[in-house]
Chains A and B, each alone.
Chain A
Amino acid sequence: MSEYPQQPGKLIKWFDPRHRSLGSWAFILNRVTGLGLTLYLFLHLIMLGQLAKGPDAYDGFIALVKNPVFLVGELLVIAAALIHGLNGIRVGLTSFGIGNSKQKQLFIILMSLAAVAIIYFAFRMFAH
């Protein structure tokens, strides 16, 4: 079977939704949020590492992350988790043969849910 080299530059097309359908938006959102959550996981582990340095270091760190910039970052993490998780439900269901013909509608409903939840969390976090 003939194989041929893949040009790495082509992978930027992962994030190019032009001329593609709704399914590609699902794919792109899942890729972006997946990569984002992975990055966050590393940051999170580094943060937990602070605990080992004793209570003072930890308190200092907590003070730092109460800054609004970090709050926005935290909201992004929540948004990514919601989008990735809810889209994951769509992928899981269709993989078991459920809702294949309605996958677009399923995607729209789940993403609407995600949007509502994100707005709710934003409101809670920035209200005071």
Chain B
Amino acid sequence: MVDLWHVTFEVFRQKDNQKSHFNFFELDINPDEYVLDGIERIWAFTDRTLVFSHACHHSTCGACGMLVNGVEKLTCITSIRDVTRDGGKIRIEPLRNFPIISDLSVDMSSLYSRMEAVGHQPILPIQEEDSKGKVKSEGDLLRLADCIECGLCISACPIALTTSNYIGPAVLAGAQQHGELTPCILELVNSENGAWRCHSAYECTEVCPSNVDPAWRIMELRRKIIANRFSSFFTRK
């Protein structure tokens, strides 16, 4: 039998844009369960009004991103053992830089719409995604893209904190993944709120749970934009 840990969950609460507060829930829980399991337990057994987002519980959907003790985590693969101790606490807050729907759930519509606008491909040849676009291959097997649109990078980014107009690390990485810089995409990323707004804090890559490495992709996108402008400068006439 596993030894249970006594853990206090400090959970951010907010309903209908009213003033926010924290609720404290004390759980005796197996430390090998995940933070999301703890939250689901609170909902199932203690407080049916708790609102939180989740779907796949195995890090493929990107719905369950939250701040766990101040750090962006996919709660479904963050084990309780890794973020607290027996008798300790876990502070759970919604992601930053997104509007809050209620409690721990945020509205990521802007992220999804922008990912669509830059043409991020949800599915593509395995080799191409494995090599982050360096190897182009046709007729290969396909796989789902690394980016799961979880929003952790946008929550961690100091520029997304500065302005919601910044299109954000995931989206810039999405443009890099799309490959071709069409005029529409170029207009979005080669702009005040695009690739040039990044200030190299590397927080996106630090928190990304899904091997995207947005910071690298942003720098790669800059290189591509420069190459694109350079060549169009000389082919203008």
Contacts and interface: CB of A to CB of B under 8 A. Distances in A.
Contacts, number: 73
B109 A27 contact: no
Q: Interface majority SS on A: helix, strand, loop or mixed?
A: helix
Interface of B: 69-71, 96, 99, 107, 109-110, 113-114, 117, 156, 158, 161-165, 199-203, 206, 215-216, 219-220, 222-223
18 contacts: A1-B113, A2-B107, A2-B109, A2-B113, A3-B165, A10-B161, A11-B161, A14-B162, A18-B70, A21-B206, A23-B206, A26-B200, A27-B200, A94-B200, A97-B220, A100-B216, A101-B216, A103-B215
Interface residues of A, number: 29
Given A1-B110, A2-B110, A21 B70 contact: no
A6 B164 contact: yes
Interface of A: 1-4, 6, 10-11, 13-14, 18-24, 26-27, 30, 90-91, 94-97, 100-101, 103-104
* Residue of B117, B163, B201 most packed against chain A (CB within 10 A): B201
A41 B110 CA distance: 39
B162 A21 contact: no
A100 B164 contact: no
